[in-house]
Every structure is written in structure tokens, then in C-alpha cells.
């Protein structure tokens, strides 16, 4: 029988994956992987501020990530820098400021590796409650804004012409991303959150026939990656967070095989039919 800590780790990881999968689909569709990195790096600054101000870490990470999202929206409107340049500036600045703040707080002993790569085996029942309650709220809001958000993803001008208010949908999406990163930080860490958002969605894209199906597949693939990674970590004594990401990567690579085999057979058949 599995130990309690391992069971809690599976429950927490699966909860994060079920929420990260659908959001990750929009990141893949919008080619916003760097945006996920920016918010995850801001999480470290949130941790530093939570220690300095003695407030809840999850709340501080959410507030910092949300402020960074709003700042990005404001800077984009000025059009002085390209989006990727803005994301790079905000990402590395937030990470550097967070590390400097932690360095100045000499009275605090902080496990940086735990922050960067997570410590899913240390989650408590309270953490699981936060994951599932917060995740349910995130998914509920995502369902409400699905149509305008997807329309804005396809064509923002057309969505505005239809009265779907894409700007509001984009803002809510960024806030949902901030919430997921705040929830997931303790599970997979600052550096691996983006991988859990992107890799399952990229894998699901190869099988799904429509956007809704891709969102469901991404959630299930993420959950499978969490379970496989944790059991692999238990078997080979590897770090749990990176093991989950490696499992997700293996699933993605496995998803390429049928397509490549099918392509090879098709090319072979065409070659055999040609004179």
C-alpha cells in the first residue's frame, strides 16, 4: 500500500494537471510559451515578498503574477517594444529581483532547489484543498470565457466585431494563468510549471479533432504524466518534479511515432505506385 505522502503527491499533481492542461492549450494556440515562463519566474519574486511581508505565499505569488500580467498588457498598448522583448525583460527582471531580495534576507533559510523544481512529496492536505478548490474555480471561469477567448485566439478583430469583448477575455486568461502558477509552484516548482502547461497540450494536439477535445486530452495526458513520473521517481529515486516533466516528454515523443510511421507507410506506398 502506498504511503500517505505519496498518495497526497499523486492527488495534488493530478489536480494541477487537470487545470494546467486546458490552459496550456491556449498557450500553445497563441504561441505564448514565453508568457508562461515570465509568470513562473515572477513566482520567485512573490515568494520573496511573502517572506518579507509575512503573508501567505500562494496569495503573494498570485498578486505578483497578476500585477506582471497587467503591466504586460499596458506596455503592449504603447507598442514601443515587441511582445517577445517585453516578455524577456519582465521575465528575467522578476527572477533577478526575486533572487536579490532573497539574498538580502539573511535571516531566512530558503531551499532554492525546492522553489525552482518543487517538492510535491511534501504537500499537505491543506495544499490539496487549495489545488482542487482553486482549480475548480479556474476551470469554471475558463468555461465561462471559453467562447470569447477562443474567438480572440483565432481572430481578435473579428471577436471584437462580434461583441465578444476579447480584451476582457485576454485579461481574465492572464489572471487565470497567475492563479494556476500560484497553485502549482509548490508542486512542480518555478522552472517546471511552463513544461506542465505546454507539453501535455502539445501532445494532445496530435490526437484531438476539435479544441474542446484537445483540452480534455491535455488534462488527461498531464494527469498520466504526473502518475507515471511519480512512480518512476519512486522506482529510480529521482527528483519528483523533473521526473513528472520527463514523463510528459516521453508521452510527447511517443505521440510522434504513429504519425511518423503512418507518414512513412504513405510515402512508401506512393513510391511503389509511381513508375
> Which tens digits make up the pLDDT trace of 185-203?
878 887 788 889 999 999 9
CB atoms within 10 A of CB 82: 10
Which domains can be identified in the chain, with CATH numbers? 4-191 (1.10.3470.10)
CA distance 159 to 152: 5
C-beta of residue 178 within 8 angstroms of C-beta of residue 38: no
Q: Tell me the whole-structure pTM to 2 decimals.
A: 0.87
Structure confidence at residue 197 (pLDDT): 93
C-beta of residue 29 within 8 angstroms of C-beta of residue 153: yes
C-beta of residue 122 within 8 angstroms of C-beta of residue 2: no
Query: Which is nearest to 24 in space by CA: 226, 180, 241?
Result: 180
- The DSSP H or E segment spanning 165 is none
C-beta of residue 16 within 8 angstroms of C-beta of residue 24: no
Conformational region of residue 165, where left means phi above 0, alpha means psi within -120 to 50, and beta covers everything else: left
Tell me: the pLDDT tens digits for 155-178? 988 888 888 888 899 999 999 999
Amino acid at each position: 500500500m502506498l504511503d500517505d505522502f505519496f498518495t497526497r503527491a499523486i492527488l495534488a499533481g493530478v489536480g494541477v494537471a487537470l487545470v494546467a492542461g486546458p490552459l496550456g492549450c491556449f498557450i500553445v494556440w497563441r504561441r505564448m510559451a514565453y508568457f508562461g515562463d515570465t509568470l513562473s519566474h515572477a513566482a520567485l519574486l512573490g515568494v520573496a515578498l511573502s517572506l518579507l511581508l509575512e503573508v501567505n505565499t500562494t496569495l503573494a505569488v498570485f498578486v505578483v503574477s497578476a500585477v506582471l500580467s497587467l503591466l504586460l498588457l499596458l506596455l503592449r498598448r504603447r507598442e514601443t517594444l515587441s511582445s517577445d522583448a517585453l516578455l524577456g525583460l519582465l521575465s528575467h527582471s522578476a527572477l533577478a529581483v526575486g533572487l536579490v531580495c532573497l539574498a538580502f534576507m539573511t535571516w531566512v533559510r530558503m531551499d532554492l532547489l525546492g522553489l525552482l523544481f518543487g517538492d510535491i512529496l511534501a504537500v499537505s492536505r491543506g495544499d490539496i484543498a487549495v489545488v482542487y478548490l482553486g482549480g475548480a474555480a479556474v476551470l469554471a471561469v475558463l468555461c465561462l470565457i471559453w467562447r470569447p477567448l477562443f474567438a480572440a485566439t483565432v481572430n481578435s478583430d473579428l471577436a471584437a466585431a462580434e461583441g465578444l469583448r476579447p480584451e476582457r477575455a485576454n485579461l481574465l486568461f492572464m489572471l487565470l494563468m497567475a492563479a494556476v502558477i500560484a497553485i502549482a509552484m509548490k508542486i512542480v516548482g518555478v522552472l517546471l510549471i511552463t513544461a506542465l502547461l505546454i507539453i501535455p497540450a502539445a501532445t494532445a494536439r496530435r490526437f484531438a479533432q476539435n479544441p474542446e477535445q484537445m483540452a480534455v486530452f491535455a488534462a488527461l495526458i498531464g494527469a498520466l504524466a504526473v502518475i507515471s513520473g511519480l512512480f518512476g521517481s519512486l522506482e529510480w529515486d529521482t527528483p519528483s518534479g523533473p521526473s513528472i516533466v520527463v514523463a510528459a516528454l516521453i508521452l510527447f515523443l511517443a505521440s510522434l511515432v504513429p504519425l511518423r510511421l503512418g507518414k512513412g507507410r504513405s510515402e512508401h506506398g506512393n513510391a511503389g505506385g509511381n513508375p
